[in-house]
Amino acid sequence: MEGTFWQIDAPERQVRGQLTIAPAPVLETLGPIFEERAFRIETSPQGGTTIIDGGNSDDLVADWSPRDIHGVLDNGREVSVIGAQGGMTDPSSSYPPQYRQRFGTIRHIIHDAHVDREHVFYAGRFRLTGPNWLRHADGHADTTDGGRLVSLNDGGSQWFEFTPAEPMSVLDYDRAVLHPTETLATLFTSHPAEAVELAVRQSPAGPWLLVHRYEQPAPTGHHELFDASYLTPQRCAVWIDFRRRSNGLDAAALDDLTGVAIQTSVLTLAAVAEGLHRRLYPDKKRVAALSRTDLRAARKAARVAALAAVRSIDRDDRPELTEADLTAFGEAMNNAFAFINESTFRTMMDDLVGTAVSAVPGIVAEFADWPAAIHSVRNILAHRGTEDDLDAHDGFINTLVAASYSLRWVLRTVLLVQAQVNPANIVGAYELSSAYHHHQTNVRELLAGTTHARR
């Protein structure tokens, strides 16, 4: 689509350009929308143009900053290009050589409106590709902050419409509504899902404004763990609420780590498990009866006692402790006590696997002690040295692989419980899942002969 474009904060610099929507949004302009710091253009008296590349990192990063661009297409339609990143293309790639800027990274393109990234909208709607929608039912549900999510069939396609309690920017719709819904669909189906065909409106009766973004429609998966009937508005609303607490760790728990080192996989999943625990069990403490006041008093007393003990030690054969040494030791005591009433990593794994086992009793049946195994491999990787015994090393690698398989299924189960799926339904879905049975068989074979195998 041809048109005239300009950067929002420099409307006097208007240039001709071409906007491409598919397969990915791209804007290419004839002439600069902005002056690039990394390049200097010199024109000779004879009209020759020389472009000098400065190569300065600060300049290159500044030129790559996201820009909001407005335009009017030749058919009269307004368009907003939000979060565009790019710069000069090679002039020699065209004939005659021309100075052009190309923005190949664009967050959103909004038709029929001139807005910026901060502009808020009354409501948004989108479709979800990936799940098989044959058994889906329409409905609606409210989020805890007063937003409303509606699922409806329109023109033979299943749509979600979300009206937040307060108007939201397109970026907020993307990360606070679309992505959590994609994650929930992936959790249920065990296949990738993608939100597509986003549109927003500025008022209850206003027209739907098309929003173009990079989309990679996911094909409808076969052998889904759960079908789309589980993607009810109620569960989607629960997940939109949960995303405010999870900071995306729910999506991280489902990420495909194929191809990474097994050590990377286990350390990543262990960190995700710890982070999810803090969000799923925020009030979990070692000693629930201890208040913050109690802990402050205990920390102060421990620090005073420890400093007194250190000062009283006979140091005739060693250098005296300086005031700086004592200050550093006192700070170390404070830091040590800061998390003394928090759950340990081992107890966190106890809580997570307890939730998973209560839903699927045999999920870690191959482990003698699942929390101990996860705690052990994580600590060996993060805190201990290497093993010289090759046989012990091979057994450790096998345990790592078993842990990576098992952590995924435990975390998936915990998230399904968080999504309010009945445990009997989870068991039924797992019984029909070849992936689940392969995980159990692989774990049993990998743990054979190790200290973590159930005898």
pLDDT digits (tens, 9 = 90+) for 335-370: 777 777 677 889 999 999 999 999 999 999 999 999
Q: Is residue 106 included in any domain, yes or no?
A: yes
128: β partners: 195
Q: Is residue 377 included in any domain, yes or no?
A: yes
Do 96 and 194 belong to one domain? no
CA-nearest of 165, 180, 179, 159 to 237 is 180
The domain of 276 spans 253-283+344-447
Q: Which secondary structure element, helix H or strand E, spans residue 235, and what is its range?
A: helix 233-246
CA-nearest of 450, 127, 453, 415 to 277 is 415
Q: Is residue 382 included in any domain, yes or no?
A: yes
What is the residue whose two structure tokens read 């709607």? 125
Last-in-domain residue among 66, 88, 111: 111
Do 92 and 154 belong to one domain? no
Last-in-domain residue among 270, 304, 338: 338
Backbone region of residue 303 per phi and psi (left: phi > 0; alpha: psi in -120 to 50; beta: other values): alpha
Helix/strand/coil percentages in the chain, nearest 5: 40, 20, 35
Do 57 and 152 belong to one domain? no
What is the residue whose two structure tokens read 């990787």? 381
Q: Is residue 455 included in any domain, yes or no?
A: no
CA-nearest of 210, 118, 198 to 162 is 198
Number of structural domains in the chain: 4
State the Cα–Cα distance between residues 360 and 51, nearest whole angstrom: 65
Provide the pLDDT for residue 54.
Answer: 67
State the Cα–Cα distance between residues 187 and 253, nearest whole angstrom: 9
Q: Show the low-confidence residues of the chain (pLDDT under 70).
A: 41-44, 46-54, 91-97, 341, 385-391
b/e code 406-434 from CB counts within 10 Å (16+ = b): bbbbbbbbbbbbbbebeeeebeebbeebe
Do 163 and 261 belong to one domain? no
Here the tokens at position 405 are: 């398989």
Q: What are the φ/ψ torsions at residue 392 (nearest 5 degrees)?
A: -65, -40
State the Cα–Cα distance between residues 49 and 51, nearest whole angstrom: 7
Provide the pLDDT for residue 163.
Answer: 97
Do 262 and 361 belong to one domain? yes
Q: Is residue 453 included in any domain, yes or no?
A: no
Structure-derived torsion over alpha carbons of residues 325, 328, 332, 338, reported in degrees to the nearest 10: 150
Provide the pLDDT for residue 224.
Answer: 92
Do 416 and 267 belong to one domain? yes
Is the CB of residue 452 less than 8 Å from the CB of residue 399? yes
Q: What are the φ/ψ torsions at residue 400 (nearest 5 degrees)?
A: -60, -45
DSSP code, position 92: G
CA-nearest of 82, 212, 236, 255 to 159 is 236
Do 271 and 393 belong to one domain? yes
Which CA distances in Å does 228 have to 129, 137, 186?
11, 9, 10
Do 224 and 124 belong to one domain? yes
CA-nearest of 239, 232, 233, 227 to 133 is 227
Output the pTM of the full model.
0.86
Do 333 and 348 belong to one domain? no
Q: Is residue 25 included in any domain, yes or no?
A: yes
**Which sign, positive or negative, has the C-alpha torsion 154, 157, 158, 164?**
negative
Do 327 and 437 belong to one domain? no
Q: Is residue 320 included in any domain, yes or no?
A: yes
What is the residue whose two structure tokens read 């339609």? 77
Q: Is residue 103 included in any domain, yes or no?
A: yes
Do 261 and 378 belong to one domain? yes
Do 434 and 349 belong to one domain? yes
